[in-house]
Amino acid sequence: MTKSTSDAEEVGHEALRPNPALDGLAFLLGTWRTEGIHPDVPGKTFHGRTSFEPGFGGAFVVMRSEIDEEEVPSGIAILASDDGAGEWWMSYFDERGTSRRYVVTVLPNEIRYERLQGHFSQMFVIRAQPGQQTLVSTGRMREGDGPWRDDLSLTYRRVEHD
């Protein structure tokens, strides 16, 4: 007997449920307008949108980001957890075809993600401001063994809440 498409869509449906290990990311959920700066492009303001949504029934958080200016790529990421180890990570992919894995730290009203690699390292911190209608991010990067320097920094203003 051949399974129908509707049967295939039902595979794994029991796992499409909220992941309590991701509760600390609730302050991010929603759609945001972004505005920011990058030190490598002085005098230019970057505009865009970012959304953080429960994915796969809440098992993961999905981030989608778009920047209107071409110097910063648009991307997508999945935030996930290992509840047994008490760890989080992010798998990122962007329009350039770049994929990266970041280690994530979740604090009250704050998320940090970092990627420490020999040739190119990055770290970002996103903090909710009082009232959780604004988020502020700061980024840092390092090439090789060089010094850490500023990277993209964004301010997020809430458009809607999930």
Tens digit of each residue's pLDDT (9 = 90 or more) over 9-23: 677 788 888 888 899
Does residue 12 lie in a domain region? no
Cα 144–146–149 angle (5° rounding)?
Answer: 110
Tens digit of each residue's pLDDT (9 = 90 or more) over 91-130: 999 999 999 999 999 999 999 999 998 899 999 999 999 9
Does residue 49 lie in a domain region? yes
Backbone φ and ψ of 56, nearest 5°:
55, 50
Does residue 36 lie in a domain region? yes
Give me the pLDDT at residue 161, please: 57
What's the mean pLDDT in 55-61? 93
Which CATH number belongs to the domain containing residue 38 in this structure? 2.40.128.20
Does residue 11 lie in a domain region? no
Does residue 45 lie in a domain region? yes
Quote the distance between the C-alpha of residue 88 and its chain's center. Answer: 12
Widest CA span in the chain = 64
The count of structural domains within the chain is 1
Does residue 2 lie in a domain region? no
What the block records as the tokens of 38 is: 């990058």
Does residue 7 lie in a domain region? no
In this structure, the strands spanning 110-115 and 120-128 are antiparallel
Quote the domain boundaries for residue 119. Answer: 17-160
Cα 31–33–35 angle (5° rounding)?
Answer: 145
Does residue 4 lie in a domain region? no
